[in-house]
Each structure stands twice: as structure tokens, then as C-alpha cells.
């Protein structure tokens, strides 16, 4: 029997995005919440770790206080932005969101489970986005009830400072979803680029092999942590050295991205450096746990090798 002809799904029109849900209150989730709240949107924030929500709130408040001190924002604007951020007790609190952005850990199983559990609670018109650094948008979209309304929305770290958002369409993403996502990001003051749905998209396809190579450079004894970072800062004008940047991103995230590149492109040039693997196995995940290629527990960062 011939396959049934494609029937476009009868989605309601995409609403004006006024209320946004964010899943994951780590460094990326907290940044996304901040820029959305400052842009005047109502935000709901969910994390499995209540401590992460508290830390996110404190970090956002501290960053906005700095904006007030610099005269960029008034006390009233700060208070209004903070009042727009609510903690979600569960997925049911996303029922009135026009867009939900997933920014939990870079682990496909975790993300799949989040999307599967989330979709029964969403309004039919709601859009879904993932901030994944590397994982297939098409595969994540396929576990939802709305792959046409699903998109990769890849913010850069630190979100309030970095201008770029990569937009990645899955195979099913419809153009009105892409246009609404683009408009949303531009409303946050960001510039978008479009990337095809291949492992790690554009920025991380280029950036992470460089970071991984810096790990090999350290592993093979070509340079020390300090000499590698100084070389790339002063020799290539990078704002942070690659090992400092790896710590800033999170070594777990760096390793997860390299694994996606290695598995997805099946090329040995993406082999994760064994030293990076060892740091992650030790739980030395970088700045967020105060230890990685540098030790951040003292007054100034001290190289760990
Ligand atoms: N969160 C929010 N804001 C931060 C921040 C953070 N973690 N760190 C710094 N900032 C802000 C500061 O508050 C300051 O803002 P104001 O100018 O409004 O006061 C501004 O950034 C500059 O900060 P500093 O003067 O303290 O520091 P700096 O000049 O050294 O700049 C930096 C800090 C912007 C992080 C700079 O070092 C930099 O650009 N580093 C490289 C960042 C980068 O490459 N990001 C991309 C990572 S890859 C990625 O995101 C994709 C992925 O999937 C892994
Ligand atoms: P993070 O480790 O700082 O935070 C992750 C948060 O997710 C934690 O608070 C954790 O408790 C929470 N979490 C884990 N499982 C959850 C679940 N089932 N439900 C709700 N929350 C859950 O990580 P991050 O750096 O903020 O990265 C988050 C996402 O953003 C990842 O997909 C990462 O690849 C991507 N990303 C990271 C960067 C970066 O530089 N760190 C840049 C762009 C994109």
C-alpha cells in the first residue's frame, strides 16, 4: 500500500512570545533567564536541584546590581526584571508558556526524558527549543509531539555578554518556527546565524577541536597550562586561553561535545584527549566546581599541572 500523503499538523498559530520556560538553572539557564527577564518577558525556571535555582537567582541579582551601579539600569528596572522570574515546581507550571527552552546538562538521555515528560503539559501552540551545544536537533525533536515546532537555539556563554545565537532547524522544523525563534532572539538583542543540523553545528565544530588540541598539547608536554593559555591569548588574541575557556565552559560539557563529534562524524581527529577524560572522571569540571585546569579555590587561579 502506498504511504499516506503528508498531512501538515494542525497547529494553532504561533503566539507572540510573552512567557518563557527555562529548564536547567546552570550557567546557561541563568543567563537565558536574565536576558529574557530584562527584555520584559515573564520567565519560569525549573531545575532538579533546588540549590541551582537559588544560585541562579543570586547570580542574576548580582549581575543586575552591577548594571545599576554602572548606570545601565535603574533600581526599579532591576526590581521589575527580578519580579518577572518565577520558580517552576514542575512541568505543569509551563502550561501557560509560549516557548520552553531546555538548558539542562549535555546528555542526550537526560534531554530526551525532559522533552518526553514535558510535552503533555504544554499548550498546543507552544514552541520548544534546546540550547544543546552539539546533539542532533532532529533526534531530540523526534521524541516530542511537535517536531515542526522544535528548534535548536544555541546561546553562547556568558549569555548576557555574547552577541550570538546559533539557530538550528531539525529536519521537520517549519519556517514559521524558525522565524519566531529568530524574532525572539533579536528581541533579546542577539544576532542569529543559521547552522545545519550536524554534530556541534558551527561554533563548537570549530572551537571544541581547538580546545581538545590544547588538551593534547598539555598531555604531550608541549607546554604547561600557563604557557598554552598565554600563547593563545597573546599570540592569537583570544580573550581567554583555550584551557581557561575549557574551564569556563565546563570540562564535562567539552567532553560531551567531543564525544558527539567523534560518534557523529566517525573521524579519529575528534578523539577526546585522555587528559580531558581524566579531569572529568576526577570531577574536576572547571570553574563551576572551582577546579579544572586551574584551581579557583584561592584568591587567584592556580594551574593544576
Ligand atoms: N556571566 C555574565 N556576565 C559575565 C560573566 C559571566 N560568567 N563573566 C563576565 N561577565 C560580564 C561582566 O559582568 C562584564 O560586564 P559589564 O561590561 O556589563 O560590566 C563583562 O562581562 C566583561 O567582564 P570582565 O571585564 O570581568 O572580564 P573580561 O573583559 O575578561 O571579559 C569575557 C569576560 C566576556 C567572558 C571574556 O573573557 C570572553 O569573551 N571570553 C571568551 C568567551 C567565549 O569564548 N565564549 C564562548 C564559549 S563557547 C560557547 O558558549 C558555546 C558552547 O556550546 C560551549
Ligand atoms: P550546568 O552544568 O552549569 O547546568 C546544568 C543544570 O541542569 C544543572 O543545574 C542541573 O541541576 C540541571 N539539570 C540536570 N538534569 C536536569 C533535569 N532533568 N531537569 C532539570 N534540570 C536539570 O550546564 P550549562 O553550562 O548551563 O549547560 C547547559 C546546556 O547548555 C548544555 O546542553 C550545554 O551543552 C549547553 N551550552 C553550554 C555552554 C557553556 O559554555 N557551558 C554554552 C552553550 C550551550
Pair (124, 238) in one structural domain: no
Same domain as 148, residue 230: no
User: Which residues of the chain are modeled with pLDDT < 70?
Assistant: 1, 3-9
- If one counts the domains in the chain, the total is 2
Which residues have CB under 6 Å of ligand 1? 63, 66, 133, 156-158, 160-162, 203-204, 207, 239-240, 245, 249, 253
**pTM beyond 0.85:** yes
Same domain? For 181 and 242 the reply is no
131 is catalytic: no
- pLDDT (0 to 100) of residue 140: 98
134 among known catalytic residues: no
Q: Is 160 in the pocket of ligand 2 (CB under 6 A)?
A: no
Per-residue pLDDT, 114 = 98
Active-site residue, 204 included: yes
Do 104 and 111 form a contact (C-beta atoms < 8 A)? yes
* Per-residue model confidence (pLDDT) at position 8: 59
pLDDT, one tens digit per residue, over 26-58 is 999 999 999 999 999 999 999 999 999 999 999
Report CA Rg, the chain.
20
* CA 233, 238, 242, 245 torsion-angle sign: positive
Q: Is 48 in the pocket of ligand 2 (CB under 6 A)?
A: yes
| CATH number of the domain where residue 257 is located | 1.10.1040.10
CA of 34 relative to ligand 1 center, distance in Å = 14
pLDDT of 302 reads 98
What's residue 82's pLDDT?
98
Q: Which of 139, 163, 195 is the last residue of a domain?
A: 195
pLDDT at 10: 82
The predicted structure's pLDDT at residue 2: 72
Question: What is the whole-number distance in angstroms between the Cα of residue 142 and the centre of ligand 1?
Answer: 34
Query: Within the chain, how many helices (H) and strands (E) appear?
Result: 11, 10
* Cα 10 to middle of ligand 2, angstroms: 32
**In this predicted structure, what is the pLDDT of residue 228?**
98
Give yes or no: residues 46 and 180 share one domain.
yes
Domain extent, residue 69, equals: 19-195
Q: What is the Å distance from ligand 1's center to 206 Cα?
A: 19
Identify the sign of the CA torsion 227, 229, 231, 233.
Answer: negative
**Annotation marks residue 166 as catalytic:** yes
Amino acid at each position: 500500500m502506498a504511504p499516506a500523503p503528508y498531512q501538515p499538523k494542525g497547529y494553532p498559530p504561533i503566539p507572540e512570545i510573552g512567557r518563557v520556560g527555562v529548564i536547567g538553572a546552570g550557567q546557561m539557564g541563568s543567563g537565558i533567564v536574565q536576558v529574557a527577564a530584562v527584555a520584559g518577558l515573564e520567565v519560569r525556571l525549573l531545575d532538579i536541584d533546588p540549590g541551582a535555582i537559588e544560585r541562579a537567582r543570586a547570580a542574576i541579582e548580582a549581575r543586575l546590581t552591577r548594571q545599576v551601579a554602572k548606570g545601565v539600569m535603574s533600581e526599579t528596572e532591576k526590581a521589575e526584571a527580578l519580579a518577572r522570574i518565577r520558580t517552576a515546581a514542575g512541568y505543569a507550571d509551563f502550561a501557560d508558556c509560549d516557548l520552553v527552552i531546555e538548558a539542562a546538562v549535555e546528555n542526550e538521555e537526560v534531554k530526551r526524558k525532559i522533552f518526553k515528560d514535558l510535552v503533555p503539559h504544554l499548550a498546543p501552540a507552544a514552541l520548544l527549543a534546546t540550547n544543546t551545544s552539539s546533539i542532533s536537533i532532529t533526534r531530540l525533536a523526534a521524541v516530542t509531539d511537535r517536531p515542526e515546532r522544535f528548534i535548536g537555539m544555541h546561546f553562547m556563554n556568558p549569555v548576557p555578554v555574547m552577541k550570538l545565537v546559533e539557530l538550528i532547524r531539525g529536519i521537520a522544523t517549519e519556517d514559521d518556527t524558525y522565524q519566531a525563534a529568530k524574532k525572539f532572539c533579536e528581541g533579546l538583542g542577539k544576532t542569529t546565524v543559521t547552522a545545519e543540523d550536524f554534530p556541534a553545528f558551527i561554533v563548537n565544530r570549530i572551537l571544541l577541536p581547538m580546545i581538545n588540541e590544547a588538551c593534547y598539547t598539555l598531555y604531550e608536554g608541549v607546554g604547561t597550562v600557563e604557557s598554552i593559555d598565554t600563547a593563545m591569548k597573546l599570540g592569537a588574541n583570544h580573550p581567554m586561553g583555550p584551557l581557561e575557556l575549557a574551564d569556563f565552559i565546563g570540562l564535562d560539557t567539552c567532553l560531551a561535545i567531543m564525544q558527539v563529534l567523534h560518534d557523529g562524524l566517525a573521524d579519529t581527529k575528534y578523539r577526546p584527549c585522555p587528559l580531558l577524560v581524566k579531569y572529568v572522571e576526577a570531577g574536576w569540571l572547571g570553574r563551576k566546581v572551582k577546579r579544572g585546569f586551574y584551581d579557583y579555590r584561592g584568591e587567584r587561579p592556580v594551574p593544576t599541572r
